[in-house]
Homo-oligomer: A and B are copies of this chain.
Amino acid sequence: MQDYKNQDTGLRKVYLDNAATSFPKPESVYSAVDQFMRNCGGNAGRSGHYAAIAAQRMIDDTRLLCARLFNTPSPKNIVFTHNATTAINFALKGILSINDHVITGSFEHNSVTRPLHYLASNGINVTKISSDLNNGLDKEQLKNAIRPNTKLVICNHVSNVFGTENDIYEIGRICRECGVLFMVDAAQSAGVKPINVQAMCIDLLAFSGHKSLFGLQGTGGLYVASGVQIRPLLEGGTGGGMVGGVNSSELLNQPTELPDSLESGTLNAHGIAGLAAGLRFIFETGIDKITAKEAEFVECLIDGLQEIKGIIVIAPAKGFSRGSVVSFQHETILPEQFAAILDAGFGIAVRGGLHCAADPHKIIGTINSGGTVRISPNYFNSETEIDYCLRAVKEIAK
């Protein structure tokens, strides 16, 4: 990356694409990864020596931190995966069987719509119900859509395109009452919106480690409520340990206990070391403080963009819950081009396009005009950067 000094803000670059991956991370994340790389580096669960045990302890600690953040009954309910997409695939394909019915919203990411599209071609019944910009998933439609063979409802917590927040408490309550499993894609919310899987009646929660949890890329996970059975999608080595008096390495069947059943092969311990530091940063800072700061940036961006001639903001109205994502279009400049000008002309990193989620654009009508420009601030941005971004948009728009 070129060393770029912006004349206007004095800043080198302005990163506002945190919905794709957060940058920068807290300094403690960098040092935790460096420390693990240089001083530990064993393979967790694969041996009993100092380096393997240190790696195992670090992973166990991270599981505990996740359990604390999401209020899971036990750290064993947390499975680490390559990314949120893998977690979603593990759950959908490990739970749904032929003739099962699954319900989803209309503001989902391809990480949900593509596996469901595959499953729909393979004997699973999929119902997509409406979502709207302010209220998210339509809860009345949801109630009416539930059938005797409905196994699962899956929706995101926060839309990665428009920032619309679903009413997770209410959806969870409906699912629990109807005896249907409830799965939440928390890729855009984990770390910035409080999540309590027990109070929210969430049975499955997929999360990304490298977004608002500040871990490295290649980390993510799945919360699985106790008693929910998932057929593993991958089998392989899961380390030693005794199962019923037998060394588990000896068994040809995949272990059935969580988290081993869903953690085949070596985990991304280096990335998880960073995730642990990211989680600690969240606890030390306080999630309320993070939420408030990001909400302020979002409000400031929406208000500022709405005043710019030629800019059409597409966001939940004031008063409705929303995440740290602001989407807009310009009357004539296509979103990808607009984002490219922000990058090349102003050193501002935002994303233009469909954001790996075509469905919400189809609903809102932005699909044929190239999607949106998406600004996604996080805790490490500053007011100066937000102001600078607004001025840059204004300059391009005229």
Contacts and interface: CB of A to CB of B under 8 A. Distances in A.
A271 B218 contact: yes
Interface stretch (A39-47, A130-138, A139-147, A318-326): A39-47
Nearest to A252: B117
Interface in A7-53: 13, 15, 17, 20-21, 23-25, 29-30, 33-34, 37-43, 46-52
Contacts of A89: 233-236, 264
A266 B358 contact: no
A218 B41 contact: no
A21 B1 contact: no
A127 interface: no
A187 to B, nearest CB: 9
Contacts of A250: 354, 358, 367
Interface in A297-355: 336, 339-340, 342-343, 347-355
Interface stretch (A95-103, A108-116, A169-177, A284-292): A108-116
Interface stretch (A79-87, A150-158, A221-229, A387-395): A79-87
A132 to B, nearest CB: 21
Given A24-B38, A52-B17, A86 B265 contact: yes
A208 to B, nearest CB: 7
A80 to B, nearest CB: 9
A157 to B, nearest CB: 17
A366 to B, nearest CB: 12
Interface residues of A, number: 97
A355 to B, nearest CB: 7
A117 B356 contact: no
A193 interface: no
A20 B1 contact: no
Interface string A228-241: 00000111111110
A271 B267 CA distance: 12
Nearest to A269: B217
A234 B86 CA distance: 7
B339 A237 contact: no
A201 to B, nearest CB: 25
A309 B368 CA distance: 78
Interface in A189-240: 208, 210, 216-220, 233-240
A292 to B, nearest CB: 25
A266 B218 contact: yes
Nearest to A120: B252
Contacts of A118: 235, 254
Given A41-B23, A110-B249, A218-B268, A47 B349 contact: yes
B252 A208 contact: no
Interface in A247-291: 247, 249-254, 264-271, 274
Given A20-B42, A111-B237, A114-B254, A343 B268 contact: no
Contacts of A34: 30, 33-34
A168 interface: no
A64 interface: no
6 contacts: A83-B265, A83-B266, A109-B236, A218-B266, A247-B354, A249-B354
